[in-house]
Structure 1
Amino acid sequence: MKESELDHYTTEPPSHELACSIFEGSWSSDVPGIGLGDVPAFNDHRIHWLETQCGGFGGKSILELGPLEGGHTYMMARAGASNILSIESNSKAFLKCLIVQNALKFNAQFMYGDFRPMLAKRERRFDLILASGVLYHMTDPVALLSDMARASDSICIWTHYYDPNLAGTNARMKRHVSPDPTHTRFGDRLVETHRHDYLEFLTNEKFAGGSAPYSQWMTRDSLLGVLEDLGMTAITGTEEFDHEAGAHILVFATRLPGYSENSYLTNNPDVAAAVDAGQFKSGAEHYIRYGKSEGRQI
């Protein structure tokens, strides 16, 4: 029987919970005061870590790629971001973001569309770009990294990557990710990626992947190497290998004009001692978090 337009009406009293029920069964996030899913996207340790690395979100103009259900957008807005442009190409996820924003009342601009052609035009710059859960859904992740680096001097990334040590043991990787590498050139660098196919996930109502039936997963070395070639210093945060989908990494990458790791550690022996003691992963991490604001010699 053909659907009637009357099926789009409700006779229930208005509430934010009722609005969320439009997408009942497809929510991933635990939305404050409402619930719905079990992913803590509105109080995410990854965003807290990135906030410490970038010097805080306060007063910054931020471009967010793929907000899903608005959890990270909410966190950055609550942390004082001056302007957030959040772009989502999945129509269902975009509407969820609007429902969440209406319920939680935070300042951000959500737009529906593909961020890739927008970035390729190179018409706007931002203080910070957040791409959480995005890069491993791209068919050309290197192009996205390059376009992001032209639009901002600071990039926050959380992504899965291809780990050859897990390829033969991780059940999902064995089914979805090809062990055969694809090699492309980025300047003088040989970049390695592996094809990832969504397969049965394309019919899952919680699907939150890319717009093509496949994507390309970079290796860890290729990811960090391309960022270096783009003139960025990368600091790595949480990195895990036991996720059901494979290894993932948290990265903050930024440009540090005139910075030299060796010189910084030589000029600041207390920092060198802290790095040796494991308090910081590198001198760059200390400089970004503390040294720059302290006026340390680089």
Structure 2
Amino acid sequence: MPLHRDSLPQLNNQTVLTDGGLETVLLFQKGFELPEFCAFPLLRDEEGRRAVAAYLDDYLAIARRHGVALLLESNTWRASPDWVARLGFKDSDTADINREAIDLLAAARASNPDVTTVISGCIGPRGDGYVPGAAMTADEAQGYHRTQVEALAGSEADLITALTLNYVEEAVGLARAAGEASMPCAISFTVETDGRLPTGQPLGEAIEQCDNLSPVRPAYYMINCAHPTHFAAVVAQGDPWTKRLGGVRANASTKSHAELDEMTTLDEGNPADLGERLGALRKDLPQLNVLGGCCGTDHRHIAAIAEACCGG
């Protein structure tokens, strides 16, 4: 059963670390093939399941060392109907894949009772993570994401986190689907090097629009798949909407999305510098309770973030 769905630690002023960039670690460091950058097929392979389980151990150890909570994200960023079908699975497999991913995290939580572990069901965009492409209306997005949301709502997931959203209508649809399923959700936008969404919309405007158009507002908002240098100046202005920001999952690299798309090797950035930047950001925005990594980050980056933001 969900342990924290009704009382999320990050909403009770507790620091919650996340893992790093699961897909980039598995692809570039562990040598797994991830067709279409999808990690969920590993759930159907014993070696893949062992690799995902082993990946979690480093982050559990960091959270334990610093005495803070840990948010574990399911490897279902692309386990929505279009991507499941694209990889040759049946439509009916979507719900099972999402539940299997949560079951794996629940097993890790049960094996580590000394670490307060929040389980998040991860949902990604229907299209490309960096390019808005063929955008849906909010109603279309609500209908599209409903299958994945409902599967996660019926699992041990404590919340849903929608990562790397790049236009506001999809965010609204996801928030509506989560509200319909009585699931708390975090909406995480990605931004370009100017701190704006890939559509050009200001981040604050997108957050306010999503709040205004969602009958049940998201629990909080996040920024992910961007380096702090891309958005620090925007959030440091202290506008009212920044109070709705509850977390950051930062990229290791300072490069733009377009530059990252062209790379064939992994830019691991500077873990210590990343930690210091998130620590400085948290001084301006003390409600940033969810802190972690995205593409290019691994346990070294999360350790540096923990040192800068949690001490010890």
The two structures have a TM-score, normalised by structure 1, of 0.31
Of structures 1 and 2, the one with the larger relative CO (CA 8 A, separation 6+) is 2
Q: Which has the higher strand share?
A: 1
Q: Which has the higher helix share?
A: 2
The two structures have a TM-score, normalised by structure 2, of 0.30
Larger radius of gyration: 1
